[in-house]
Amino acid sequence: MEKRKIGSLEVSLAGLGCNNFGWRIDAEGTAAVVTAAIESGINFFDTADIYGGGQSEEFLGRALKGRRDKVLIATKFGMKMADGKEGAKPAYIRQAVEDSLRRLATDHIDLYQIHRPDDSTPIADTLGALDELVKAGKVREIGCSNFSAEQLREAAAAPGGGARFVSVQNNYSLLHREPEAEVLPECQRQGIAFLPYFPLANGLLTGKYRKGQPFPKSSRADDEFGPKVFTDENLGLADNLRQIAESRGHTLLELAMAWLASKSVIASVIAGAKTAEQVKANASAVAWRLTDADLGAVEGILTSKASHG
């Protein structure tokens, strides 16, 4: 599988989002998904301390036992784990990284990301603490998530000559294109890798959902993001995009992943999976190289939405 750079890291173009581990799937299911990912050429695993209340990191660490050196682990800190355990103050970062290292059963984290901005802490303080972790060998590279272009500029301009963010992970898909306005151009200016989360728009772009048909039981349409994503308009768009994909011998899921992979600023398309089959589908999807004609057809559908909306 093609590899791209996040700072000094060489990551697979398809990454595995581990937010299902410890919540939607157990330790055994996690191990099966991780094995399928590695066999499919995926070397980049993205989790967070908060996923599954810490169990995502634990199950991932267990699943990677004996093959830690074959993969790159990204995790995140900053969202509330318990009372007093959140944010990006230096003292908390030092505690959070030790907790994640223990759960992951590893001595280093390849990409350590602040999960969301912390307005109560100067970014220079946060970067200083993260730089200490890099110098100590506990973290190789640092990144951020849910940052705006302005916050990326502020981080780049912060005093101190230490580690700087090499990646930003934000919500981006065919149906959520907000990063294109400011964040993607800022990434290109700074040489920062962009990591899209929700590349399949909470599952809407898997092709399982059709306008006017009942949704599968226990589907992502029922979770907290469902009402915002599973609108009639988005279902209609997904249907039109599916027709483009199928006319080219591909699936809607393959189009959603390949469209993101067509952008050079994107280092890895991080998609979650609950089964080995889903991982394999995600991994093979990024091999499709969209032509200018393909991209133009997609753009035609998405901009017709904008002009009608």
Does residue 76 fall inside a structural domain? Answer: yes
Report the relative pairing of strands 3-6 and 9-12 from DSSP bridges: antiparallel
Does residue 49 fall inside a structural domain? Answer: yes
Residue 161 near residue 170, CB atoms below 8 Å: no
Q: How many domains does the chain have?
A: 1
What is the C-alpha to C-alpha distance for residues 125 and 121, in angstroms, rounded to an integer?
A: 7
Does residue 300 fall inside a structural domain? Answer: no
For a pLDDT cut of 90, what percent of the chain falls above it?
87
What is the C-alpha to C-alpha distance for residues 9 and 192, in angstroms, rounded to an integer?
A: 12
Q: Which of 51, 92, 112, 209 is catalytic?
A: 51
Does residue 30 fall inside a structural domain? Answer: yes
Residue 40 belongs to what domain range?
3-201+263-289
Cα separations (Å) of 191 from 56, 87, 254, 276? Answer: 30, 26, 27, 34
- Proportion of the chain in helix, strand, coil states, percent, rounded to 5: 45, 20, 35
What phi, psi does 28 have (nearest 5°)?
-65, -45
* Residue 51: active-site member: yes
Does residue 127 fall inside a structural domain? Answer: yes
Torsion of CA 230, 147, 125, 4, to 10 degrees: 100
Side-chain-side CA neighbours of residue 83 (13 Å): 0
pLDDT digits (tens, 9 = 90+) for 279-303: 999 999 999 999 999 999 999 999 8
Residue 96 near residue 127, CB atoms below 8 Å: no
**Residue in the structure block whose two tokens are 């590349």:** 199
Does residue 238 fall inside a structural domain? Answer: no
Does residue 208 fall inside a structural domain? Answer: no
Does residue 191 fall inside a structural domain? Answer: yes
The tens place of each residue's pLDDT in the chain, 309 residues long, gives 999 999 999 999 999 999 999 989 999 999 999 999 999 999 999 999 999 999 999 999 999 999 999 999 999 999 999 999 999 999 999 999 999 999 999 999 999 999 999 999 999 999 999 999 999 999 999 999 999 999 999 999 999 889 999 999 999 999 999 999 999 999 999 999 999 999 999 899 998 888 777 776 655 555 666 667 888 899 999 999 999 999 999 999 999 999 999 999 999 999 999 999 999 999 999 999 999 999 999 999 998 865 554
Here the CATH number for the domain that contains residue 14 is 3.20.20.100
Q: What sections of 176-231 are H helices per DSSP? A: 183-190, 226-229
What is the C-alpha to C-alpha distance for residues 28 and 6, in angstroms, rounded to an integer?
A: 30
